[in-house]
Amino acid sequence: MKRLVEEAVVRFQEPVAPRLIYSLRLRSPAIAAAVRPGQFVHIRVSSGFDPLLRRPISIHSVAGEEIELIYRVVGRGTEILAGLRPGAVLDLLGPIGRGFDLEPDKTPLMIGGGLGVPPIHYLAQDLATRGGSGLVLLGFRGLDDAYAVEELEALPGLEVKTATEDGSLGHKGLLTELLPSGPELDNRAVYACGPTPMLAAVAAWAEENGLPCQVSLEERMGCGLGACLGCTVPVLIDDDSDNPIKYRRVCTDGPVFPASTINWKELTGGL
Amino acid sequence: MASDRTELKRSDRGAGPDLRVNIGALSLANPVMVASGTFGYGEEFADVCDIDRIGAIVTKAITLKPKSGNPGPRVWETPSGMLNSIGLENVGLERFLSDKLPFLQEHESRVIVNIAAVRIDDYARLAERLSEAEGVDALEVNISCPNVKAGGLSFGTDPDQARAVTLAVRAATNLPLLIKLTPNVTDIGVVAEAVVDGGADSISLINTLVGMAIDLEREKPALGNIFGGLSGPAIKPVALACLWKVRGRVDVPLIGMGGIVNGRDAAEFLMAGATAVQVGTASFVEPRSAEIVLNGLIDYLKERNLDSARDLVGRIHI
């Protein structure tokens, strides 16, 4: 899919959870028209060269010419974003990446943990708009980190279950404790985004149960265009594969990957 | 950013200054190239950039066999810069020739293939094969690789090894030969003299500076490889100092790079003695940086009433 550079205009920004989580809505017509669930935009946070690198942030929702991003302030770049007021202009590169590819004739199980919820929210919203149905599992540390739950619960066709580690919302415990079993597994395909250990657990569970599974990964990123090879993740290579290179680019080959292709041992080894 | 936008919107530049420069037998439409490792094999930027305006595209470093590169994280932001430890991941010579070169052949920019190896014989083999390929206009030799036969020290840090690589590549090709120098040496002038002695037509400098960062959250070195190469605006002063030193020691045309983000940066390098420049890290921030640098350079020449880019080269005398 063709990427472009667009000057987006901030429409609205507000905190959506006490722990420095913000929703940023931007008027970005060209990107809004082209983007698909699971894709992201690569944002230039400074008009100069410091902070240097663009910040990749997944799309949370699209409405007409507007895109919505949800992010947490974790460093200099996101701190700058959080300070933007309506009318500010933001240079976006996008839409970037391979998004989710819904398996035909399978019921979606959509799993979003922590800051991984936005692409899952977009996927679920898109599915509901087209009359689809599925199960959404959300996990957060606690109520102070939670967002998008009510919006998802309000969408038709979706069953939504939430877990928080401290029990302040929904089930007390890990999101993985909500994973279905028995007949609820029939004909399911899994789509997940969240912290890497969570994705590794979901991938293993999906494999044990013979379910197709797509995961959205993230890495520190350079160009966002597939040129610099900075954002790579380790993959499993067959001995007879004609491409012996053991890494794939999150920005171009991903961010969504079939879970069975990822070298989870190496990906989680550094954590 | 406002000035960037103006640089791109202005399409009618009138008769304008003469931008042509020559690097030995390599004639360029303009002195702006894109640096190896920052522009892939060209096609990656085709959506968002008018690549035909770029004087030359220097490809990602090619090794004889495909290389997977380093475990991540491979990139990390630093003040006005970044660290990278990609580890020379590339598709290898055969897939470069079959899958990547055809796209480059269809475009106006000159094609400079960067080559990397850990054995002198492999450098020579790469040079030989690429000389036979259509559409390759010059070779840039990355000598920052470890010489495995000499205890792993990089070719570029030892003048004798640097000369030996240059001699071997020179013997294997008639293509214009650029040797890319590393700043991580005590005396870059000595290395420059050695590669010219070995037959280099030109020297490009500088490659990245060695650096590292600490990830406070994970309580570990930020990069998977621990050490990485520092690039971006932060290194521009080091790049200019290296250029100035080398200029005083050799007579071949020089290609300057290190933190160039706009036309005025490029003008500084030309004035300090470079015949051409390479734009690297800037492309990650603004994909159309090479064009912006070119347009800014044109504006600078007009401002100073200079008729050609060549008038700027080495304009400052000690």
Inspect the interface and report whether the beta carbons of A53 and B285 lie closer than 8 Å. yes
Inspect the interface and report whether the beta carbons of A229 and B86 lie closer than 8 Å. yes
Inspect the interface and report whether the beta carbons of B287 and A225 lie closer than 8 Å. yes
Shortest alpha-carbon distance between residue B249 and chain A (Å): 33
Confidence band (pLDDT; 50, 70, 90) for B147?
confident
Interface test with B, best of A46, A219, A232 (most B CBs within 10 A): A232
Q: Is the CB of residue A221 less than 8 Å away from at least one CB of chain B? A: yes
Inspect the interface and report whether the beta carbons of B66 and A245 lie closer than 8 Å. yes
**Radius of gyration, CA atoms only, chain B:** 18
Q: What is the pLDDT of residue B7?
A: 54
Q: Look at A49 and A184; give whichever has higher pLDDT.
A: A49
The answer on pLDDT for B2 being more than 60 is no
Q: What does the mean pLDDT of chain A come to?
A: 96
Q: Return residues 171-210 of A near B (CB < 8 Å).
A: none
Distance CA(B232)–CA(B182), nearest Å, equals 15
Distance CA(B45)–CA(A94), nearest Å, equals 13
Q: What is the mean pLDDT of residues A245-255?
A: 97
User: Which two tokens mark B246?
Assistant: 């080398």
Inspect the interface and report whether the beta carbons of A228 and B82 lie closer than 8 Å. no
**Percent of chain B whose predicted confidence (pLDDT) is above 90:** 91
For residue A68, the SS3 value is: strand
Q: Sort out which chain A residues have CB atoms less than 8 A from B2's CB and list them.
A: 47
Distance CA(A81)–CA(A43), nearest Å, equals 9
Shortest alpha-carbon distance between residue A245 and chain B (Å): 5
With beta carbons less than 8 A apart as the criterion, state whether B202 and B243 touch: no
The answer on pLDDT for B1 being more than 90 is no
Q: Sort out which chain A residues have CB atoms less than 8 A from B218's CB and list them.
A: 270-271
Q: What does the mean pLDDT of chain B come to?
A: 94
Q: Sort out which chain B residues have CB atoms less than 8 A from A47's CB and list them.
A: 1-2
Inspect the interface and report whether the beta carbons of A54 and B72 lie closer than 8 Å. no
Q: What is the mean pLDDT of residues B59-84?
A: 97
The answer on pLDDT for A109 being more than 80 is yes
Q: What is the pLDDT of residue A184?
A: 86
Shortest alpha-carbon distance between residue A125 and chain B (Å): 29
Confidence band (pLDDT; 50, 70, 90) for B8?
low
Distance CA(A137)–CA(B86), nearest Å, equals 36
A56-89: pLDDT as tens digits: 999 999 999 999 999 999 999 999 999 999 999 9
Residue carrying structure tokens 């590292």:
B212
Shortest alpha-carbon distance between residue B51 and chain A (Å): 14
Interface test with B, best of A1, A2, A49 (most B CBs within 10 A): A49
Answer yes or no: pTM beyond 0.80. Answer: yes
Q: What are phi and psi of B124, to 5 degrees?
A: -65, -40
Q: What is the pLDDT of residue B4?
A: 53
Inspect the interface and report whether the beta carbons of A245 and B47 lie closer than 8 Å. no
B85-143: pLDDT as tens digits: 999 999 999 999 999 999 999 999 999 999 999 999 999 999 999 999 999 999 999 99
Q: What is the pLDDT of residue A2?
A: 87
Q: Is the CB of residue A85 less than 8 Å away from at least one CB of chain B? A: no
Complex-level ipTM: 0.95
Q: Sort out which chain B residues have CB atoms less than 8 A from A233's CB and list them.
A: 72
Q: What is the pLDDT of residue B3?
A: 47
Q: What is the mean pLDDT of residues A13-26?
A: 97
Of A196, A193, A231, A228, nearest in space to A214 by CA = A193
Q: What is the pLDDT of residue B183?
A: 96
Q: Distances in Å between the alpha carbon of A246 and those of A199, A242, A243, B278? A: 20, 12, 8, 30
For B299, left (φ over 0), alpha (ψ -120 to 50), or beta? alpha
Shortest alpha-carbon distance between residue A1 and chain B (Å): 9
DSSP B36: T
B183-240: pLDDT as tens digits: 999 999 999 999 999 999 999 999 999 999 999 999 999 999 999 999 999 999 999 9
Q: What is the pLDDT of residue A206?
A: 97
Confidence band (pLDDT; 50, 70, 90) for B22?
very high
Q: What is the pLDDT of residue A253?
A: 97
Q: What is the pLDDT of residue B11?
A: 47
Confidence band (pLDDT; 50, 70, 90) for B262?
very high
Q: Sort out which chain A residues have CB atoms less than 8 A from B45's CB and list them.
A: 225, 227
Q: How far apart are the first and last CA of chain B?
A: 35
Confidence band (pLDDT; 50, 70, 90) for B15?
confident
